[in-house]
Amino acid sequence: MPALVPDDEVVAANSATWTAAVVSQVALAPLAGVLITVAGPGWTFGADAVTFVVSAAVLRRLHVGEGATKEIGHRRFLAEAREGVALVAEHLQAPSSSYGLMVAAIGVGAALGPTLLLRLVPDPRRPRYVFAPFVLRDAVDLVLATTRSLPVALGALAVYGIGTSTGAVTLNSPLQSHVTDRTRGRVFALMDLLWQAGRLASLGAGGLLADAVGVRAVYYLGGIMLLLAGTAGPLVTDRRSG
């Protein structure tokens, strides 16, 4: 991204890219369902393959400065289906079909997040804003663990979507701006490796913990850990800056 836009536009460019990706997923998912029903899965996968070819052809036309390194990544929302369905069916006492509404609420929040970030935050690359989504997610986990109201849970998950999308923008933007072109690819590759490894470990541990003590304990523990990360991060960063 820094090779394509000026430094003062990196946050806006990341926000626009994230919003376009989420809106496309939300808008095109029903279309995919219609295509499967009308033409079958074979034609649907074929059409999907064609879109990747078209995307690759368009991306080849991007002009990147000489010697610049492009870091191309695609982030998807990974819904923990097991914990989500258990929360809907057991904790909220709502039909399992409501799980789709909960995932949709996350998508709506994720689509709105970057727009709100640009409008409300003057400099999203400051450390406090990089770690703020952790605290926001902490509040969401505590609400989900406590409430038994489906509308309240939907609102909390919309906030979760906002925190996820803004967190991606506030984290990626300063890295793109301050890491050199030569090392940017390696830095992002290492970050993604650590992120995915931590995600796999947490999913396994969370599943075992949910079976042992219930899904509410998982959300309470997750909220506490996020609160610690969100408050410790700015303190450590400010101390090093000083």
* Contact residues for 125 (Cβ-Cβ < 8 A; gap 6+): 11, 170, 173, 174, 177
**pLDDT at residue 84, as a whole number:** 52
Closest among 223, 86, 91 to 150, alpha carbons compared: 91
Amino acid 135 reads V
- Token pair of 178, please? 């301050």
pTM of the model: 0.56
Kindly tell me the burial class for residue 87, based on how many C-beta atoms sit within 10 Å of its own C-beta (0-12, 13-18, 19 or more). Answer: buried
4, 64 Cβ separation under 8 angstroms: yes
- Token pair of 29, please? 């998912």
**pLDDT at residue 54, as a whole number:** 92
Asked if residue 74 has pLDDT above 50, the reply is no
**Separation CA 113–CA 130 (nearest Å):** 14
- Token pair of 170, please? 């506030």
- Token pair of 110, please? 């994720």
170, 178 Cβ separation under 8 angstroms: no
Q: Does domain 7-241 have CATH number 1.20.1250?
A: yes
* Of 73-82, 182-191, 218-227, minimum mean pLDDT range: 73-82
Closest among 5, 14, 64, 3 to 165, alpha carbons compared: 14
**Separation CA 30–CA 9 (nearest Å):** 33
Q: What are the residue ranges spanned by the domains of the chain?
A: 7-241
Which one is predicted more confidently, 232 or 72? Answer: 232
**pLDDT at residue 90, as a whole number:** 59
pLDDT in tens, 10-68: 777 877 887 777 777 777 777 888 888 888 888 888 988 998 999 889 888 877 655 44
**Separation CA 132–CA 227 (nearest Å):** 10
**Separation CA 81–CA 158 (nearest Å):** 17
The packing angle between helices 127-146 and 215-241, to 10°, is 160
* Contact residues for 229 (Cβ-Cβ < 8 A; gap 6+): 131, 134
Beta strands, E only, 93-143: none
Query: Residue 207 CA to chain centroid, in angstroms?
Result: 21
Closest among 35, 173, 45, 18 to 107, alpha carbons compared: 18
Average pLDDT (140-157) is 84
